A = this chain, B = another copy of it.
Amino acid sequence: MSTTHTGVPTALPHPVPAAEYQACPVTDVLQLLGDKWTLLLISLLGQRPYRFNELHRAVDGISQRMLTRTLRTLETDGLVEREVFPTVPPSVEYRLSPLGTSLLEPVSALAGWAVTHHGEIVAARGRR
């Protein structure tokens, strides 16, 4: 194996095939959580169930469309359960599924890191 002046091997010990990391569970989950509203909705639903317009009012700034879309994605991925009450007018309740609830723990760990270190990130950004 040839090396450069830096001592870094030029041959790769672990090449990453596209098919692998595109299906990477971690990347997939991170992208699921990384959008604009998902995490906030999960944390709200982690407190208690919410109804649609209740969420709409709770999350200042979210559009009806994005609230619907984000909830649909979470429902499709099995993190949120949607229950329709056939009343007039209709009422729909959203709650975390057991799977979604289990997600609260590792998210909290990352949230803890974020709270602790976000200042450093902001400081680094401030330097350029």
Contacts and interface: CB of A to CB of B under 8 A. Distances in A.
A113 B106 contact: yes
A5 interface: yes
Given A39-B30, A40-B24, A106-B113, A18 B124 contact: no
Contact of A110 (B14, B110, B123): B110
Interface of A: 4-6, 8, 10, 12, 14-18, 21-22, 24-36, 39-40, 43-44, 47-51, 54, 57-61, 76-79, 85, 87, 91, 93, 99, 102-103, 105-107, 109-115, 117-118, 120-121, 123-125, 128
A78 B114 contact: no
Contacts of A124: 76-78, 99
Copies of chain A in the complex: 2
Contacts of A24: 40
A93 B118 CA distance: 25
